[in-house]
Chain A
């Protein structure tokens, strides 16, 4: 097996990031429409519709509670989708990785470029929601800008996890498992729609092991005018997920692409 120094990406990763960004820019209008449209629907339906019956949650209006949750879950969804379907299309259907490997780019440069891009896309979708929610008065306080590095780190962790799946996948069908077994449970049980403490204890313990819980724990206070508790702990979990998933994805991709 290749030595582990090869896993450390170089500046080539930015060429990969740039490539993905250039493609995204060409499809800007439909892409942005999705980024703004979806959260608007969620906020209207859940914030107003459901919020009317739910009342305040954790001392804030339900729409405010849920806006920050949707920011976090959208980072997860966007980064996961990009790291699964889009990355798999580049690798398997378009043979973009093969083209890149015929240049001085290494597997680690490609992987790091892809992971960075999932984080950037996560940030784009999060910012769209923050903007929409701001006009609903659901985003407030002086710490909103601090959410940007947190969103990027969360994007890196979800993107790396998705790329582990992509490195293993034989077809698109495989990704359904990941959505059903990982993304959807996180969406429902990690504090996006209701506070974690309303879950039974064992479920809270499981939720503590999942990255989305920590993204929500950091983003909800920052987006509603408070400073989060246990910042180091939450950041460390997200960082650990990123590094571990990156290493596994790198190992699997080397095995898949260099044979």
Chain B
């Protein structure tokens, strides 16, 4: 890495009532880069983000922002950070611009500065024509954009985004991704948590997969894919619901395979023989695709549901 780490987390430990949530989370984010923290529900993503803001006191480990420890920075550290929370917390009684003005006052910015910044930010987030509208007049995607604009009011060096596009339609997601890439180009360091793998793949320079309070792997999206998924992917689904390829005909032709219900997922460099064999079998439907981060994620964190923890 050329740039020094802007954010550095070393061995973060945290437990709630004896239940460990962070078990040695360690990673660093280079200045001006985008790091995606991906993991299933309850993996420790939001706790990590809160810890970076100094809102969750950790039981062990250290957080450094721009070379200074969080404890040395105190709340002054938060003046360098912008936060897009998982749950929208815009002020429902205010208009769009009043939300930005009020927020700017929390940073003790001057009124002139706040007005100038909010006009720029509303323009940047394509919200200028809604400046005087109440929050209730905004769609979910627009509220999210306003939350991002609000997080930028103090021109933060580090922007934390906790699941920034959860629940948004594709148009809204693409606009937000575009803006986040603009920010990164302008030199803002981004840390985002997500459980959308395509989001991580599109935005992040580095991806860390977190599960049960530990970073399992960290690399570029492509690096993770090539290290963990050999070649391409073929999904064979058996339409009658029986076990697909119960005789294991595919075995010698693939590097790895996995059965998930009615589907057989094959990974390998050359899956042509398997495809030819099953292509004309009317009991099967198939899908051939390049390996994605989602394959890596599921292989590393397993396929069982994580509804119990939140």
Which residues of A line the B interface, CB within 8 A?
Answer: 11-12, 15, 18-19, 22-23, 26-27, 94-96, 98-106, 257-259
Contacts and interface: CB of A to CB of B under 8 A. Distances in A.
A238 B215 CA distance: 53
Interface in B118-171: 151, 154
A103 B107 contact: yes
30 contacts: A11-B108, A15-B106, A15-B108, A18-B102, A19-B105, A22-B94, A22-B98, A23-B93, A23-B94, A27-B93, A94-B92, A95-B88, A95-B89, A99-B85, A99-B90, A99-B91, A99-B103, A101-B55, A102-B53, A102-B85, A103-B78, A103-B79, A103-B107, A104-B75, A104-B78, A257-B55, A258-B55, A258-B57, A259-B16, A259-B56
Contact of B106 (A27, A104, A257, A258): A104
B76 A104 contact: yes
Nearest to A259: B56
Contacts of B107: 103-104
Give the interface SS of chain A, mostly helix, strand, loop or mixed.
helix
B214 to A, nearest CB: 21
Given A94-B91, A99-B89, A106-B75, 5 more contacts: A15-B106, A18-B102, A96-B89, A99-B85, A104-B75
Nearest to B95: A26
- Quick one: which of A11, A23, A95, A104 has the most chain B CB within 10 A? A104
B78 A98 contact: no
A103 B89 contact: no
B83 interface: yes
A18 B105 contact: yes
Nearest to A19: B102
Nearest to B101: A22
Given A22-B98, A94-B92, A100 B106 contact: yes
B283 interface: no
A105 B56 CA distance: 15
A191 B81 CA distance: 52
Contacts of B55: 101, 257-258
B175 interface: no
Contacts of A18: 102, 105
Contacts of B76: 104
A6 B157 CA distance: 26
A94 B56 CA distance: 20
Contact of A102 (B57, B83, B108): B83
Nearest to B56: A259
Contacts of B53: 101-102
Contacts of A98: 85, 87, 89
Interface of B: 16, 53, 55-57, 75-76, 78-79, 81, 83, 85, 87-94, 98, 102-103, 105-108, 151, 154
Contacts of A94: 89, 91-92
Contacts of B85: 95, 98-99, 102
Contacts of A22: 94, 98, 102
Nearest to B84: A102
A226 to B, nearest CB: 42
A94 B218 CA distance: 36
Contacts of A96: 89, 91
A104 B79 contact: yes
Nearest to B78: A104
- Quick one: which of A22, A98, A99 has the most chain B CB within 10 A? A99
Contacts of B83: 102
A96 to B, nearest CB: 7
Contacts of A103: 78-79, 103, 106-107, 154
Nearest to B54: A258
- Quick one: which of B53, B56, B89 has the most chain A CB within 10 A? B89
Contacts of B94: 22-23, 26
A104 B88 CA distance: 19
A258 to B, nearest CB: 6
A23 B88 CA distance: 18
Nearest to B87: A95
B286 to A, nearest CB: 46
B121 to A, nearest CB: 15
A115 B86 CA distance: 28
A95 B88 CA distance: 8
B78 A102 contact: yes
Contacts of A258: 55-57
A100 B87 CA distance: 13
Contacts of B16: 259
A41 to B, nearest CB: 28
A97 to B, nearest CB: 9
A152 B76 CA distance: 32
B93 A26 contact: yes
A104 B89 contact: no
Contacts of A95: 85, 87-89
Nearest to B89: A95
B86 to A, nearest CB: 10
